Structure 1
Amino acid sequence: MMMSQSLYRYLVQYYDTVKIDVMAPKWSLPLLKHMPEINQIFEIPLNHGTLALDKRYRLGKSLRKETYQQAIVLPNSFKSAIIPFFANIPQRTAWRGEMRYGIINDLRKLDKKAFPLMVQRYAALAFENKKIRDASELPNPLLWPRIMVSNEDKELALKTFFLKNPYPLIGFCPGAEFSLAKCWPDYHYATLAKKLIHCGYQIALFGSIKNRATGKEIRFSLTEDIQKYCHNLMGTTSLEEVISLIAACHAVVSNDSGLMHIASALSRPLVALYGPTSPNFTPPLSHQARVIRPVRGYHKIRQGNKKKDYHQSLIAIKPDQVFRTLSSLLVS
């Protein structure tokens, strides 16, 4: 979802009278509200992976009154293309995906080597078919995702979670959506938190409810006298609140995750930690971001610490290295 904003930015830049409406899952709506290019947002009231053909038909039919000229479909699935088809939108644009001939009538054949980044693939769909044959033909510089948060929203979020005090805030994003294999170990985060607190910072831990136990591990690994400077907000904040809080951070340290891309789009100083996953497809798109990824050989090791199932490549990233990288961003 974060990568899709580059497409919207190109549409606004190259088509003076364009109005962009976005249909998306409920969880992503707070993120879309921070994209100034978007005119109107519609929720897809369906569970992920559900075909529900009758519901998609009714949803598509309800869009006919909007008289859209073009639909750009970003997911590659068959079901994602059905709604604009049922909406009778004349031009339906997408990369070739699963069984979509006829449903998508402006079908693009993707050369993955020509467009190595996801953001490039999305951006290319803003232009006529075959006008952009590879990423080098996209207007330069590439329009990266950039979301906006007002000072009022940042102040309110800090006050709501009792973080408005003299100590500058560093955000940690220790969770990941699917498994611990993408997570920097909690004991490394705890060591880094201790260093930063002793340097005069406070720490906020961001993530979902299923990662809250990791936040507890980090906080309770600290000595009792400094635990008050580490706030476990995992599972207690909405996405809207997390966006505002990340915008208020002096810097962010994150696993390869959605929150990492939000921090990047907010242009926060960011240290992004990669292990078995690669930054070659969806890197953080910001001059304020630094990626740390150990040597290539580690990525073939499937099992790391057996007790907690951390990947060896992420265990190998030491807190001192992250601290040095983060410190260079904070003084630059």
Structure 2
Amino acid sequence: MKILVIGPSWVGDMMMSQSLYRSIKDLHPAAEIDVMAPAWCRPLLNRMPEVRWALPMPLGHGTLQLGERRRLGRELRGERYDRALILPNSFKSALVPFFAGIPIRTGWRGEMRYGLLNDLRVLDKTAFPLMVQRYVALAYPPTVRSAKALPNPLPWPRLRVDENESTTAVSEFGLDNGRPLVGFCPGAEFGPAKRWPHYHYATLAKSLIDGGDQIVLFGSAKDRQAGDEIIALLPANERPYCRNLAGATALEQAVILIASCRAVVSNDSGLMHVAAALGRPLVALYGPSSPDFTPPLSHQARVIRLITGYQRVRKGDGDQGYHQSLIDIQPEQVMAELDTLAAAGKEN
């Protein structure tokens, strides 16, 4: 069986989609799975053993370009896929499999996809409360109408990183000074309302550096300023032990370096899901966004959230745009969770 998956366009969603690929392999061990997604996803897909090929989607997020999608679909006809799984809910995401003539095209009902999808599922959000469950359900027949009918536990995402890759990357970035690495992921795509305050990160960094660790800050170029603000609050003699690599690493390099960390502290972000998939001890900090929908999928993760239920994400809810519920999470709470994870690791 050959399957084409139209993948999501966000780091966290792409990570959670690996549970679908693992589920397909559990059901059909000989299945060949190709994933079409933005080119930047390739470093993640290449580390998922279930994926045969990562096919680049050359069209930007939000663009229709009907003629180009028709061309892409026709180019794929020679692959003779048996089935397509379309993870995004948009109209345009269903076009390439339709033009490719793939006989079974499966996805959740979204914006005007009647005809484009011939295995159209109607989502009951209460039956599949987690995004990862909604992905995995597409591997099963439409008679599976609840997460209770899915395997328990689900096969969670797991990325492969070779130990030699980690050793080489640590050396290349000058981090091989004998101090263990603790990764911070202080950014969030939405902005400050989903970020733990930089001054809390700085306080935690100081405690960890005093205890013999070094801090590595990960993120995109947009997170560079947040990293600089963290370092600026550290005493001058401790700043060499806090490296801001936000925007200085490709995603591939960030994945390898995160795999080298003894622990990771992260906002609700794509890199949080990467750290979970790498099996790193992880403290995930949530404010208005909820772990009830997209939690870190790892037994090595601890979630700190001081509020319950859905909260509307708004900019400017607190000091410097930070959400008050994240301001209220104290560095001492995070340190206590890191200590608990470290103790559990020693016991195992």
Match of 1:150 in 2: 162
CA distance in structure 1 between the aligned counterparts of 2:292 and 2:285, rounded to whole angstroms: 13
5 Å matches for 1:235-254?
235-254=247-266
Match of 1:234 in 2: 246
1:50 aligns with 2:63: yes
Match of 2:171 in 1: 159
How far 1:301 sits from its partner (Å)?
9.0
Local SS of the residue matching 2:141: coil
5 Å matches for 1:144-293?
144-293=156-305
Local SS of the residue matching 1:146: coil
CA distance in structure 2 between the aligned counterparts of 1:49 and 1:160, rounded to whole angstroms: 37
How far 1:233 sits from its partner (Å)?
0.4
1:35-93 deviations in Å (ceiling 9; x for gaps): 00001111000111000001100000000010000000000000000000000000001
Match of 2:4 in 1: none
How far 1:297 sits from its partner (Å)?
9.1
Local SS of the residue matching 1:226: helix
CA distance in structure 2 between the aligned counterparts of 1:260 and 1:65, rounded to whole angstroms: 38
CA distance in structure 1 between the aligned counterparts of 2:309 and 2:15, rounded to whole angstroms: 30
How far 1:165 sits from its partner (Å)?
2.2
* Conserved 8 A contact 2:289-2:310: no
CA distance in structure 2 between the aligned counterparts of 1:186 and 1:195, rounded to whole angstroms: 14
* Conserved 8 A contact 2:287-2:307: no
Local SS of the residue matching 1:103: coil
* Conserved 8 A contact 2:196-2:322: yes
TM-score, normalised to structure 2's length? Answer: 0.93
* Conserved 8 A contact 1:298-1:313: no
Local SS of the residue matching 1:225: helix
CA distance in structure 2 between the aligned counterparts of 1:59 and 1:220, rounded to whole angstroms: 48
How far 1:330 sits from its partner (Å)?
1.2
Match of 2:36 in 1: 23
CA distance in structure 2 between the aligned counterparts of 1:82 and 1:300, rounded to whole angstroms: 32
Instruction: Indicate how the Cα distance of structure 1 residues 298 and 13 shifts in structure 2: closer, same or farther if over 3 A, else same.
Output: closer
Q: 1:3 aligns with which of 9, 16, 20?
A: 16
Match of 1:66 in 2: 79
1:220 counterpart letter in structure 2: A
1:85 aligns with 2:72: no
1:132-155 deviations in Å (ceiling 9; x for gaps): 220011012211111110111111
* Conserved 8 A contact 2:33-2:53: yes
Query: How high is the sequence identity, in percent, across the aligned residues?
Result: 60
How far 1:128 sits from its partner (Å)?
1.5
CA distance in structure 1 between the aligned counterparts of 2:257 and 2:29, rounded to whole angstroms: 33
Match of 2:54 in 1: 41
TM-score, normalised to structure 1's length? Answer: 0.97
1:97 aligns with 2:110: yes
1:324 aligns with 2:336: yes
CA distance in structure 2 between the aligned counterparts of 1:297 and 1:17, rounded to whole angstroms: 42
CA distance in structure 1 between the aligned counterparts of 2:309 and 2:92, rounded to whole angstroms: 39
* Conserved 8 A contact 1:254-1:273: yes
Local SS of the residue matching 2:15: coil
How far 1:304 sits from its partner (Å)?
3.5
Contiguous gaps of at least 5 residues in structure 1: none
Contiguous gaps of at least 5 residues in structure 2: 1-13
CA distance in structure 2 between the aligned counterparts of 1:256 and 1:113, rounded to whole angstroms: 22
Query: What is the RMSD computed on CA atoms of the aligned residues?
Result: 1.3
CA distance in structure 2 between the aligned counterparts of 1:175 and 1:184, rounded to whole angstroms: 9
CA distance in structure 1 between the aligned counterparts of 2:311 and 2:117, rounded to whole angstroms: 38
1:295 aligns with 2:301: no
